[in-house]
Amino acid sequence: MPINPKYAQDVWKDIGESVQFTVLKFKDLPVAELQEAFTTFVGRYKPIVHSLRIRDGQPNGLPSSLKIAFGLSNHAWDILYPNTAKPKELEDFAGVQGPKYAMPATEGDLFFHIRANNQAVVYEAQEQFMRFLKEITEVVDSTQGFRYFEGRAIIGFIDGTEAPESYEAADYAIIGDEDEDFINGSYAFAQKWRHNMDFWNKMKTEHQEKAIGREKFTDLELEDEDKYHNAHNVASQYEENGEEQKIIRMNVPYSDPASGNTGTYFMGYARHWRVTKGMLQNMVDQSDYLLTFSEILTGQLFFIPSRTTLEAMADGAFS
């Protein structure tokens, strides 16, 4: 069966105006209790999303802007489905280490990436999901993001320039027949960065451009000799057999300016986890300039089941 985006969750579409990232971990409860509650939630997941899309679209007669991806980690899979084969590349993210910087791994069993043009819709989706999950989970991280001017990153540069165009995105984001049992699923890597914006904003624009590898206003790529050796668009590249590999990036700014808590939620969807992992390793190996003024707070890998797989989970086919 070929890749078919209509059976995938929202892993290859737009970022949205208002965004919610939520990572939960299971409480220390009997496995049977966790399995029963999770199965109940998955059975209610699709109707909740369908209802909210109707409510979101009705007032103006336009299609709903609500898009959601929901997934589970390797640790969660081992708890919920210990006797069932798992996606081929699903594993616990153990962190990556470079000569100067590291990217830590953090806890996480369930993951939500919710976005819409109306923050009320985002709120309502997460609120309804938590009705079924709050008794069995604890919050690891909850981050509200937003679309910055022109879709730029919070550091002022256009984000995702090298990401695949929408017409080709599915081939990079969605698992194919190389893993037939989980076709149309995806591997999601979620990582929260906090930036020292005082450091960044004191840099002259020409130095910022050398650090990113692109012109700030036009987004044109600099010549290699005009970039820092560890410019972001150099350090974050990953190749296999001489060919650059790509993922779907949906990076989102978050900020509380009054407290100075500002950063980027890095969200990467990939057909192959090894590609994202290779990019992360390159970033620390080459001391990506972004790491100079950033602290990485969280990081974990999640499998995003296809809609077909979610239905099978709801029916108890994976237990």
- Residues with catalytic roles: 159
Which residue's entry shows tokens 């309502």? 124
Handedness of CA 15, 19, 20, 23 (dihedral sign): positive
Please name which of 117, 87, 295 lies closest in space to residue 188, comparing C-alpha atoms: 87
With 0-12 / 13-18 / 19 or more C-beta atoms within 10 angstroms meaning exposed / middle / buried, residue 182 is buried
Residues 158 and 150: beta-carbon distance below 8 Å: yes
Query: What is the rounded CA–CA span in Å between residue 142 and residue 36?
Result: 24
Distances (CA, A) of 94 to 74, 116, 278, 298: 11, 32, 13, 12
Please name which of 270, 67, 84, 308 lies closest in space to residue 187, comparing C-alpha atoms: 270
